[in-house]
Amino acid sequence: MNYLIMSYSHKNSDLAIREKVAFISDEKKIEFSKKLLKYEAINEVMIISTCNRVEILASVKECQETLKYIFYELSEISNMPVGILEKKAEIYEDSAAIHHIFSVAASLDSVVIGETQIVGQIKNAFKVGFDNGFCSQKIARVMHHTFRCAAAVRSSTDISSTAVSVSSVAVNKAKEFFDGNLAGFSALVIGAGEMSRICAEYLIKHGVNVIIISRNIEKAQRLVDELGGTTIAEDFSRLEEFINKYRLLFSATSAKEYVINNKMVKEVDFERYWFDIAVPRDIQESCKTKNIQLFTVDDLKDVVSQNKIFREKQAGIAFSIIGKFTMEFYKWLQTLQVDPIIKKMRDMAKRSAQKELDRALKKGFLPKEQKDEVEKILHQAFNSFLHKPTQNLKKVAKDPEFDTIVQSFQYLFDINENQKKAINMYKCEYHMEQDMSNSSLQPKEK
């Protein structure tokens, strides 16, 4: 059995290719998984698909011919030549595949190192695969260790503690003016491009009601539909009204001239915090008044640079953790082989019987001339006693529950150390937590 991963990510494929190979719904994942499992060399399969990556993880009997089959099927649904798909894909096998998926879950392979969204996306992909019977014992083993590894990276490093984009730094800066808590407040995001999307994502994460304003209302609405949560789109004609109504404003358009000028600014009785993260600038500098604090890209770039350096150092620590987890995973797999466990139990039974036989002979409880006959009887007795447990152990060898059962055997018979702790290690919650707020898009207060 081999582990195999075919990967298309922001590192090896541009957006045009990722869009074609993406699985935009669970239904698409289910449909393609069924196709792959028709191939006899594929045991189990799981598909991860996000805006930045597509990962096809499979348990296979062999790799080379299986890869050809997956490329062919992927070509059929994406309408892309096999040659291009082969050229762009990164292929990982066995320990390299395990190391890769651990790295992905720990967000070391993400556009923004340390982001936490990817873990939830992997959990959701596992849920779809597991609930539909596309992945079972072999991939479940990988996933359980994947989530443990990701948790260990988060708890042992500060890789997720600092923002590394201008958008995220701007949101963190805004938090300083609200005692570190933006939940319930409303913010304007001007523009519907990538920078605006990232900014809106960070705001939503912090519980902010987001109002997206763009000259292209259709594009703004598409972004709102993508982001979900407490997000709405408003027409650009209402810009002047809104900039004088809300405290928080983030602007990231591609306009060549000012989007907000000083003539649009009205006197209000509350403090406003504006973040101009566009180049060239969206907000006229003279808009800065006694109750408007205005921050530009230059005001934030030093923080971004320092945070990137910090995260790179933390990533080094994280990779060492992932390397350790990869080795431990394969070491753990070796302990789950049935035959050595059965042999160990039989050896233990034989030693116990021999010990008691020698004791009986030494104490004179048994004549020496009967030793061979009694030894045969004892041997038949422990073989008979172990027959049913042995048969049951072999019977469940391919079931998802097997790992927990075999670890229980190991613990009960004291075959390996620390097995009591390992029994609970196999548990895994793969359901994504959704924090959907139904609150209205009204500001908490001015």
418: left (phi over 0), alpha (psi -120 to 50) or beta: left
- Kindly state whether residues 56 and 181 are assigned to the same domain: no
d(CA 309, CA 215): 37
* pLDDT value of position 324: 93
- Give the range of the structural domain holding residue 224, as residue numbers without chain letter: 166-304
At 227, list the tokens: 């982001």
Q: Let me know whether 125 and 192 are in one domain.
A: no
In whole angstroms, what is the distance from residue 143 CA to residue 329 CA?
11
Q: Same domain, yes or no, for 146 and 173?
A: no
Q: What pLDDT shows up at residue 383? A: 81
Question: Average pLDDT by consecutive 10-residue portion of the chain (446 residues)?
Answer: 92 85 91 96 94 90 94 95 95 95 89 77 93 91 92 83 69 89 94 88 92 94 88 94 95 89 92 88 84 85 65 82 91 69 79 85 85 85 82 71 70 62 42 34 37
Please tell me which residue in 51, 63, 149, 199 is annotated as part of the active site: 51
pLDDT confidence of residue 445: 36
How many domains does the chain fold into? 3
Give the pLDDT score at 398: 65
Tell me, yes or no, whether 243 and 343 share the same domain. Answer: no
Residue 130: per-residue pLDDT: 93
144 and 23 inside one domain? yes
Can you say whether the dihedral through the CA atoms of 204, 206, 207, 211 is positive or negative? negative
The pLDDT of residue 160: 67
Q: In whole angstroms, what is the distance from residue 427 CA to residue 157 CA?
A: 23
In a domain, 327, yes or no: no
51 is catalytic: yes
What whole-number distance in Å separates Cα of residue 145 and Cα of residue 153? 12
Q: Is 416 helix (H, G, I), strand (E, B) or coil?
A: coil
Shared domain check, 409 and 292: no
- Tokens 């040659």 appear where? 83
* Close Cβ partners of 407 (under 8 Å, ≥ 6 residues apart): 336, 419, 422, 423, 426
Contact predicate 121/50, CB 8 Å: yes
Secondary structure element (H or E) that encloses residue 54, with its range: strand 53-60
pLDDT at 275: 93
Q: What is the pLDDT, as a whole number, of residue 45?
A: 97
Cα gap 405→408, rounded to integer Å? 5
Residue 7: which CATH number?
A: 3.30.460.30
H helices of 112-243, in order, are: 117-131, 137-156, 166-176, 194-205, 217-227, 239-243
Residue 13: the pLDDT is 87
| C-alpha of 323 from chain center | 17
**The tokens 């990982």 sit on which residue?**
92
